């Protein structure tokens, strides 16, 4: 099987006014001086910054993603943003089903699945997030929860070319905690099997599975080279260009691709 090209994606969440675009400029300039051709890189700022970010990132290797979309293309849904609108603003990808949306907004697997379809309809890559809560983790329910979320959230027509799966244990997000490397390996292997069951072995075997949850410069090198980890979804450490670049740079000179 050909190796899977890694992706390091930064999720800014609800952070960043116009001044934060300076970090994008810094990242762009850093990558120009010291490229990391071994991995793909993406930044997902808040929707309000997408158009301006698209201008900064044009003709650079940094892809632009959004953080959520509505399942429909347009209509009477005050405050919502469609996948088509995100594409129009310059995004090429969108995160769907992040645990903060599942928890804050009660998003179900069915809705996340519909949002992933909306992403495909608009020509965007869907980054579909799954992950167990602290309580589910404590109760030993992680494998069942992840299997259910993949089966429910991953459209059967998803392809490795337009979809990325991100595993983010809820208890690891923003907490500084991470699972053991053994657990990451075991759970990513299980997710790879889940993908094979939903999508078939070819697509399931080729799809990127990102790890997310307290990835930072000090732990990226070990996490990123765990088998079946094909990159990272980075929250807090993506807000500073220097930290985010350091995470991406663990792939420099590697044969991960």
Residues that bind ligand PGA (CB under 6 A): 11, 168, 173-174, 212-215, 233-237
Contact 222, 10 (CB under 8 A): no
Nearer to ligand PGA, 44 or 207 (CB): 44
Of 45 and 236, the one with the shorter C-beta distance to ligand PGA is: 236
The residues assigned a catalytic role are 98, 168
Q: How far is the CB of 52 from ligand PGA (least distance, A)?
A: 22
Q: Are 38 and 253 in contact (CB under 8 A)?
A: yes
Whole-number Å distance between alpha carbons of 222 and 108: 32
User: Which among 63, 68, 92 is positioned nearest to 80, based on CA atoms?
Assistant: 68
In the bound state with ligand PGA, the residue whose beta carbon lies nearer, of 137 and 199, is 137
Least distance in angstroms from the C-beta of 92 to ligand PGA: 18
Residue nearest to ligand PGA (CB): 235
Q: How far is the CB of 65 from ligand PGA (least distance, A)?
A: 11
The string of DSSP codes covering 147-207 is HHHHHHHS-TT--TTTEEEEE--GGGTTTS----HHHHHHHHHHHHHHHHHHH-HHHHHHS
Residue listed under structure tokens 């930072």: 216
Question: Which of 176, 201 has the CB closer to ligand PGA?
Answer: 176
- Least distance between ligand PGA and beta carbon 146 (Å): 16
């Amino acid at each position: 099987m050909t190796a899977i090209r890694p992706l390091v994606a930064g999720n800014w969440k609800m952070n960043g006014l116009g001044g934060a675009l300076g970090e994008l400029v810094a990242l762009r300039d850093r990558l120009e001086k010291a490229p990391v051709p071994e991995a793909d890189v993406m930044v997902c700022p808040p929707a309000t910054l997408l158009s301006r970010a698209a201008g900064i990132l044009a003709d650079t290797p940094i892809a632009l993603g959004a953080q959520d979309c509505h399942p429909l293309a347009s209509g009477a849904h005050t405050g919502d943003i469609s996948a088509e609108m995100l594409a129009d603003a310059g995004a090429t990808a969108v995160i769907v089903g992040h645990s903060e949306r599942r928890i804050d907004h009660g998003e179900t697997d069915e809705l996340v699945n519909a949002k992933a379809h909306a992403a495909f309809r608009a020509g965007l890559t869907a980054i579909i997030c799954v992950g167990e809560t602290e309580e589910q983790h404590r109760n030993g329910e992680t494998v069942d929860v992840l299997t259910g979320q993949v089966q429910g959230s991953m459209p059967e027509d998803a392809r490795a070319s337009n979809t990325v799966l991100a595993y983010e244990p809820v208890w690891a997000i923003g907490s500084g905690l991470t699972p053991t490397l053994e657990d990451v390996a075991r759970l990513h292997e299980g997710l790879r099997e889940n993908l094979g069951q939903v999508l078939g072995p070819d697509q399931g075997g080729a799809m990127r599975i990102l790890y997310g949850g307290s990835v930072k410069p000090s732990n990226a090198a070990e996490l990123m080279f765990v088998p079946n980890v094909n990159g990272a979804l980075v929250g807090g450490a993506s807000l500073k260009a220097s930290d985010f670049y350091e995470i991406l740079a663990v792939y420099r000179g590697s044969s991960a691709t």
